[in-house]
Amino acid sequence: MSNSALAGALLQACQQRDIMLATAESCTGGMIIAALTDIAGSSAVVDRGFVTYSNEAKMEMLGVSAAALDAHGAVSRETAIEMAQGALKRSRAGLTLAVTGVAGPSGGSTEKPVGLVWFGVALTGRPVVSECQLFADKGRDFIRRETVRHALELGLRALAADQAAGAAP
């Protein structure tokens, strides 16, 4: 499914659930919120997008702790979780998608190679879900597009899992 189709499906799922959506993006620089707002009618469910490329922006705009950044770095499970939680607290959204990673072509290390991306998905009343992906180093554009795709898929999965949990007896 294309990123555009995934974005449309996520918007529809949010509208059916009557929840707003926000993003907290680092390595994608706003590409997730752009994919969502490219679709007419997205204003019905899109609240806002936080583009927090620097550590300072992550702390100031999302409340990511200096302790998490110092101990684990910007590209980490802990930071992705705090980004997702911060976006939830600082918006009207009931679902937030957070991404932080190394898109390349430089900036990678042995521990955090180019293509490593951490995701955080926060849904009101549920624990934050985090996941790590190591995308093939096929260039910056590829890594960023795949990050957008995966974030949209995670949002859809979170809503489906929440709905299934709510439907359970």
Q: Which two tokens stand for residue 104?
A: 């390349």
Question: Residue 131: beta bridge partners?
Answer: 119
Q: How far is residue 75's CA from residue 118's CA, in Å, rounded to a whole number?
A: 6
Instruction: Please check the confidence at residue 167 and state whether its pLDDT lies above 80.
Output: no
Predicted confidence at residue 1, as pLDDT, reads: 87
Which H or E run contains 99? strand 95-101
Q: Which two tokens stand for residue 146?
A: 């795949």
Q: How many CB atoms lie within 10 A of CB 140?
A: 16
Across 128-156, average pLDDT:
98
**Domains in the chain, ordered, with CATH?**
3-162 (3.90.950.20)
Query: How does pLDDT run across 90-102, given as a tens digit for each residue?
Result: 999 999 999 999 9
Q: How many CB atoms lie within 10 A of CB 168?
A: 6
**CA 110 remoteness from chain centre:** 24
Looking at residue 63, the DSSP 8-state letter turns out to be -
Predicted confidence at residue 166, as pLDDT, reads: 75
DSSP letter string over 30-65?
THHHHHHHTSTTGGGTEEEEEE--SHHHHHHHH---
Q: Which two tokens stand for residue 85?
A: 């939680």
Predicted confidence at residue 168, as pLDDT, reads: 47
Specify the length of the chain in residues: 169
Query: How does pLDDT run across 52-109, given as a tens digit for each residue?
Result: 999 999 999 999 999 999 999 999 999 999 999 999 999 999 999 999 999 999 999 9
- Torsion angles phi and psi, residue 91, rounded to 5: -145, 180
Q: How far is residue 151's CA from residue 6's CA, in Å, rounded to a whole number?
A: 10
